[in-house]
């Protein structure tokens, strides 16, 4: 009888110990759950668009030094340092830029300019005429991104200038008058540097300078009889400023 009582006591004690251990384990697991960090899934960030457009005021500043003129039958008027001189012009201009990466982009500028053409060198004072220029320029750029909102860039590329609506002046100087004019379309090299200053994620200000090497051949007729040919070293600087928008 005494042995039976001892067995019951041992079993009761073991049961109490198991129950207590289980309760402690459950309590500990609950505490661990209460202290476990809660992870929230961050909302997805919309990727930046690779497209940017800029609307600028563009100054076209030709540099006509080094032109040439050859006048048939009149060697005294032929000169390796004379030729056509184009007037400066300011126009609105649109450019479209595509970013391949955050550093590398391609830019295409679009604009049309109208220029008054006169003679220089031995032709100084001679009114040649007028012409419209369509000079789309494509450059490959490298953008620097380590200066906060200031985004400087450099670039190089190619220009193609089309001359259209060309007209001779028909005005006379010392008995000479240009009665016909033709300037050939021409490819040329281009380099550029500039910067965007971003005001926020989308809007910014832009300043840009390009140098074009543009040296087309031209021909003209003086007094409906004298053939004039040469090369016009236009080589303009394109200086522009305006606003930028990145999609």
* DSSP code of residue 77: G
CA angle 167, 214, 164 (to 5 degrees): 25
Is residue 77 within 8 Å of 69, Cβ to Cβ? Answer: yes
Is residue 159 within 8 Å of 135, Cβ to Cβ? Answer: yes
pLDDT in tens, 81-90: 677 889 999 9
Cα gap 104→153, rounded to integer Å: 9
pLDDT along the chain (247 residues), means of 10: 52 50 51 53 66 97 82 67 85 96 96 90 83 95 96 97 92 79 95 98 97 94 87 93 97
Q: What is the pLDDT of residue 8?
A: 56
Long-range contacts of 37-43 (CB under 8 A, 24+ apart): none
Beta-strand ranges (E) seen in the chain are 51-61, 68-71, 83-86, 89-99, 104-110, 113-120, 127-134, 137-143, 150-168, 172-173, 176-183, 186-198, 203-212, 217-222, 226-231, 237-246
Coil, helix or strand for 247? coil
Q: What is the pLDDT of residue 83?
A: 76
């Amino acid at each position: 009888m005494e042995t039976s009582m001892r067995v019951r006591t041992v079993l009761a004690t073991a049961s109490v110990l198991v129950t207590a251990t289980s309760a402690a384990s459950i309590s500990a697991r609950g505490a661990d759950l209460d202290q476990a960090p809660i992870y929230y899934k961050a909302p997805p960030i919309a990727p930046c668009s690779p497209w940017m457009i800029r609307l600028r005021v563009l100054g076209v500043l030709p540099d006509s030094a080094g032109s040439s003129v050859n006048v048939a039958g009149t060697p005294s008027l032929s000169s390796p340092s004379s030729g056509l001189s184009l007037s400066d012009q300011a126009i609105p201009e649109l450019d479209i830029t595509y970013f391949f990466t955050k550093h590398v982009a391609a830019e295409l500028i679009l604009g049309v300019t109208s220029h008054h053409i006169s003679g220089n060198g031995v032709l100084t004072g001679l009114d040649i005429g007028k012409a419209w220029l369509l000079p789309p320029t494509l450059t490959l750029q490298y953008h620097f991104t380590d200066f906060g909102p200031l985004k400087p860039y450099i670039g190089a590329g190619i220009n193609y200038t089309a001359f259209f609506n060309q007209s001779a002046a028909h005005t006379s100087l010392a008995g000479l008058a240009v009665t016909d004019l033709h300037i050939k379309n021409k490819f040329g090299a281009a380099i550029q540097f500039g910067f965007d200053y971003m005001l926020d994620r989308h809007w910014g200000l832009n300043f840009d300078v390009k140098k074009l090497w543009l040296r087309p051949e031209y021909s003209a007729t003086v007094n409906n009889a004298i053939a004039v040919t040469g090369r016009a070293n236009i080589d303009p600087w394109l200086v522009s400023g305006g606003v930028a928008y990145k999609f």
